[in-house]
Each structure stands twice: as C-alpha cells, then as structure tokens.
Amino acid sequence: MIKEKVAVIGSGNWGTVVAKILGTNVVQQSGFEHEIKMWVFEEMIGERKLTDLINEKHENVKYLPGVSIPENVVAVPDVVEAAKGATILVIVIPHQFVNGVCDKLKGNVHPKVKAISLVKGFYTTESGIRPISHLIKEALKISVCTLSGANLANEIAQEKFSETTIGYKNRHEGKLFKRLFETKYFKVNIVDDVLGVELCGALKNVIAIGAGMIDGLKLGENTKAAIIRIGLLEMKKYIKMFYKGIKDETFFESCGIADVITTCYGGRNRKAAEAFIVTGKSFEQLEKELLNGQKLQGTLTAKEIYLVLHRKGLEKEFPLFTTVYRIVFEGLDPHKIVEDIV
C-alpha cells in the first residue's frame, strides 16, 4: 500500500501545534510515512536560525516555547522542499501570504496531492471575496478540505480537550483527514460543507474585534453576549447571502457558534481590540507589541467584508460588521458599537 506523506506549510503558533498533533498521529496510525516536513519562514533568533533551533531542540522557541515537537517533524526553510513528494499538504499560514506560497508551489507538488486549509480569512478581488480554499484549489489544481473550530492553540498544545470541524467535498478525504488529526483530546467532526467551515472561521474574527472593544469599554457581560449573538446572526446572513450550498447545521458545529464564543473570550483579536480601546494605540502597533510575530486577522477581514458591503450598498444590513470597520479604520467613537447596531 502506498503511504501518505504529510507536509505542514506554516510554523506559527497554530501551525506548530498542528505539527505536534500530526507528528504523533502519523506514527500511531497506519498508512502514513513517519517523517513530516514543516515549512518554516526563516528567522534569526539571536545568532541562530529558527529552523536549526527547531530541529536541534524539537521545540519552536519563537512561536510555541516550552512545548515539545515530535522528532519526526523536520523544519525546512524552503517551501518547495517542504512540499516535495507530499501527498497531503496541511496549509496553516496567515491568509495574506497564501498567494505567494501558492505561486512558489505551482508545478512543484505531487500529482496526487490533496490539501487541507486551516487558513482564516479571504482573498479580496474587484468582484468580491474569494475563499482561500478556492484560491488554493485553482492555483495548484488540487482538491481542498477545510478545518476550523474553537481551537485556541496554546490550550491544544497543553492537550486540553477541544473539538474541531473538517469540511469536505469528497467523503473519503474527509475521513482520511479525520484519522490524521483526531486524538483523545482533539475531537474531529466532518461535514459536507467546505465553504461553511472555512467562512465561519474567517468571519468570527470580526465579531471578536467587537467583543474586545466591549471589554475595553467595560460595558459588561450582557453587552458582550449581545454582540456575540448579533455577530453570529450577521455571520450567518453574510455567508448565506453570498455563497450557495451552505448548511444551517454548520453554524452549530465547533467551527460556528463554539469558535465565535471562544474567540470572543480568549483569542488574539479580542485581546488586541481591548488594548486598542484601553491604550489608544493603533492595531498595527499592538500587533507588534502583543502578538510575538503572529498576525492579526480580524481587522483585515473587517476591511475586506466592508469593501463588499459598501460596493453593494449593504452597510445597513450588517450594522455590527460596518460599525467595527468604521471604528478601526475611520476613527468612529468606539461607543458607537452599541449605539449604531440597535
């Protein structure tokens, strides 16, 4: 039997946690080659290359310090080399880098490769918003599943129980990815809804920006709950307005309501939005100060959503998404978050 060869494209906080899970599972499960190559955007940590440190210490000292990575996970600084011969690509990078990575991988992937995208966000064009899974599929001419859920990386690194959702089009691939990802502490459910899973994962970050503003304004838990409820409704409305075939049940999976809740209480977007209110600093500055090299997705996604709403004259249909955008990018009084959504 031909064994599946796995490559992880990305090595940030979440990418490293995923590599930890997969590095263990490919050894315990049949049908997988044991070595996993993980693409690392090369950085210097002091006088040492990050890839050398990861391969020497079996720990991502920059993005996941203190957590051991299995020794069969090998850090590689060249994305083409990392993907060479792989039949499974696990893509987990900030969405603004997907285009560049796909350009490098074109013509350099296994003819039978398939991918699973853990990327949060969209690709914006003049005609609207394109899901990242579509971009990957069209660029590399491969099938793409998606994974998203209430998955704060540091908690999963500590092996605290959580759930996730995998969206598939081909059920065989969905079951393969479930086997690759699932552990006793990381429960996987698979659903026939690639786009629904992916889009929930992107839009929830905008809701979390709103929730963080509520925390910064000290408006209390009732107000925050209202923002979460309104945000969930706008998320569902937006997704179903612009994309066909989205299943209602998907919004009740881990990728839907559960991810909205956990991101609004524990994620980086909430944290940065609270600091934005409290300190008055820009999101760009706070990203550098608070996120240790990680990227903030919620503000960029808010802008991308608003461009579509504005172009189509739909701002009033989505008052929370519109108000979050205007606070972040137009200097609107943050208190308007509760005044302009009623």
Q: Which of 178, 204, 224, 236 is catalytic?
A: 204
- Final residue before a domain boundary, out of 150, 165, 192: 192
- Domain of 253 in residue numbering reads as 203-339
Predicted confidence band of residue 96 (pLDDT cuts 50, 70, 90) = confident
One domain for residues 273 and 183 = no
CA-to-CA distance for 224 and 273, rounded, in angstroms?
13
68 marked among binding-site residues: no
Give domain status of residue 1, yes or no: no
One domain for residues 187 and 207 = no
The lowest-confidence range among 25-39, 43-57, 121-135, 193-207 is 121-135
Q: Is the pLDDT confidence value at 1 over 80?
A: no
CA-to-CA distance for 110 and 105, rounded, in angstroms?
10
C-alpha distances in angstroms, 247 versus 10, 149, 230, 253? 29, 16, 19, 11
Coil, strand, or helix at residue 288?
helix
179 marked among binding-site residues: no
- pTM attached to this predicted model: 0.94
60 marked among binding-site residues: no
One domain for residues 52 and 183 = yes
Tell me which residue of 225, 281, 275 sits closest to 267, measured CA to CA. 275
Task: Check if the beta carbon of residue 208 is closer than 8 Å to that of residue 267.
Answer: yes
- Final residue before a domain boundary, out of 158, 192, 226: 192
One domain for residues 33 and 99 = yes
Q: Is 204 considered catalytic here?
A: yes
12 marked among binding-site residues: yes
Q: What is the CATH number of the domain that holds 157?
A: 3.40.50.720
247: left (phi over 0), alpha (psi -120 to 50) or beta: beta
What is the tens place of the pLDDT at every residue in 181-219?
Answer: 999 999 999 999 999 999 999 999 999 999 999 999 999
Give domain status of residue 136, yes or no: yes
Q: What is the CATH number of the domain that holds 271?
A: 1.10.1040.10
What is the tens place of the pLDDT at every residue in 108-164?
Answer: 999 999 999 999 888 877 666 789 999 999 999 999 999 999 999 999 999 999 999
pLDDT of residue 175: 98
- State the distance between the two ends of the chain, measured CA to CA, in whole angstroms: 60
pLDDT of residue 123: 81
41 marked among binding-site residues: yes
Indicate the number of domains in the chain.
2
What is the tens place of the pLDDT at every residue in 321-337?
Answer: 999 999 999 999 999 99
Give domain status of residue 197, yes or no: no
- Final residue before a domain boundary, out of 161, 192, 223: 192
One domain for residues 80 and 150 = yes
CA-to-CA distance for 43 and 41, rounded, in angstroms?
6
Residues 6+ apart with CB under 8 A from 11: 19, 38, 39, 40, 41, 54, 60, 63, 75
